[in-house]
A and B are shown apart, each in its own frame.
Chain A
Amino acid sequence: MGFLGDVLAWFTDPAQWSGPGGIPARTWEHVQLSVFATVVAAALALPPAMWLGHRRRGGQLVVAVVNIGRAIPSFAIIALFLPISIRLGLGLGFWPTFLALFALAAPPMFTNSYTGISGVDPALVESARGMGMTDRELLRRVEIPLASPVILASVRVAAVQVVATATLGAIVAWGGLGRYVVDGFATQDNVEVFAGGLLVALLVIGTELALSLLERRVVPAGIHTTSRADLEIHAT
């Protein structure tokens, strides 16, 4: 038994399953912030990326956005915005974590959507124009459907990274599943650390599977989905 037995005992302890520090409550906190950050990032990153991709302009900007996004660690963003958030009277935890997650999710969504739209076969764009389509129609009826696998895959990969990184919020007194890992480290309780890691990993895998399923349903038939290997990515 030993260590894994202790982990099992941790999970089967009824105290872990109720109250504000219980697994359901912590999971819910984790999901809430992740969804919020991903949706805000998508809402702000996708429209300009699609428009720039449609005009096939701003390639340099795209490269700059990704490089900057990659150079600033999420951990540093969370740490940096904690004192700023306190000074602005926004409190601990939530907003610094949100900002870090936003900064993590927006750049890859922006770049991949840009690449997806601007990579649509020029011959198709040409023929759509020849058929008299306006810019809006072209974007809505040709470019976005054709680029949809790339766009959705970029949202999925970003969402997965957001769920993974939301763990770091626990360092700045926010809740979520990272709480177990950080508290476990603080009290040198390896069982709690391990259990927390396991919960986060399960949630990450669940997010990946759920969004992959969704992707398969949304992408028009006849267009293939995109693998992670083809995307701009960013580790957490």
Chain B
Amino acid sequence: MIVAQAADQPFIRWGWIWDHLDDIGGAVREHLLLTGIAVGVGLAMSLVLSLVALRWRRTYAPITWATGILYSIPSLALFAFLVPITGLSILTAEIGLVSYTLLILIRNIVAGIAGVSAAVVEAARGMGYGPVRLFLDVQLPLALPVIIAGVRIATVTTIGLVTVTSLIGWGGLGFFILRGLNLFYSAVGTTQIVVGTVASVVLAVAADLALVGLERVATPWARRRAAI
């Protein structure tokens, strides 16, 4: 009966959007916050793990293997494991989100730094660069395009995944998608699904473009785009 009712409803009710701009703004802020924390923490952890992998090459395979397993656990299942322990807290959401950034970021950081020309590293050593300065002043800047390419993938992926955290009480724009699903037979429901989806995709594209801009600013010597 509900199903038959659905066909008579308009798909989008524009008035709803105008009336809820504040709610949408709040959801965007929560979405960005959840994404920012996840990518920030993920980047810090990945840098450490990548340095370990670069220093002791034998650890690279186990690190990618372990983060690969984390990556293949479905988000919903991961939340299922965490909820009994950490409840419906932001920690539950972030553990899940951070887990998914690790493989992407480590892969790109290691590839970026390992890809710095051996001749350049040799020249820097010859000029008396110690390991720390070599890393900070030579390897890291030269690897930056590849690292930022990884951050772009991780950010776009995370923005999509944040919508799933609506099931554990967070979700940013995913909140509208979930609430819309519960009202899917009505125009108010479909409107919210569309708003949540479109806003989340727009956010992903905007964040991606912002990172492209950041890369151009951060690597003025190289105007070429890194291979993804």
Contacts and interface: CB of A to CB of B under 8 A. Distances in A.
Contacts of A67: 156, 208
Contacts of B112: none
- Grouping DSSP codes into helix (H, G, I), strand (E, B) and loop, the A interface class, with mixed when no group exceeds half, is helix
Contacts of B167: 171, 182, 185
Nearest to B204: A71
B74 to A, nearest CB: 3
A160 B80 contact: no
Contacts, number: 159
Given A67-B208, A164-B73, A82 B184 contact: yes
Nearest to B81: A197
Chain B interface size band reads: 35 or more
A229 to B, nearest CB: 4
Contacts of A194: 80-81, 83-84
A136 to B, nearest CB: 30
A79 B160 contact: no
Interface in B54-86: 64, 68, 71-81, 83-84
B107 interface: yes
Interface in A54-104: 63, 66-67, 70-77, 79-80, 82-83, 86-87, 91-92
A169 to B, nearest CB: 10
A141 interface: no
B174 to A, nearest CB: 7
A86 B74 CA distance: 27
Contacts of A72: 160, 197, 201
B84 A3 contact: yes
A76 B197 contact: yes
Interface string B173-189: 01001101100110001
Given A71-B156, A83-B184, A227-B64, A167 B6 contact: no
Given A76-B193, A79-B178, A164-B72, 11 more contacts: A70-B156, A71-B160, A71-B205, A75-B166, A75-B177, A87-B7, A168-B164, A197-B79, A200-B74, A200-B76, A235-B71
18 contacts: A67-B208, A71-B201, A71-B205, A75-B160, A79-B178, A82-B181, A82-B193, A160-B72, A182-B76, A185-B168, A194-B83, A194-B84, A196-B80, A228-B71, A229-B103, A229-B107, A233-B71, A235-B104
Interface of B: 3, 6-7, 11, 64, 68, 71-81, 83-84, 100, 103-104, 107, 153, 156-157, 159-161, 163-164, 166-168, 174, 177-178, 180-181, 184-185, 189-190, 193-194, 196-197, 200-201, 204-205, 208, 228
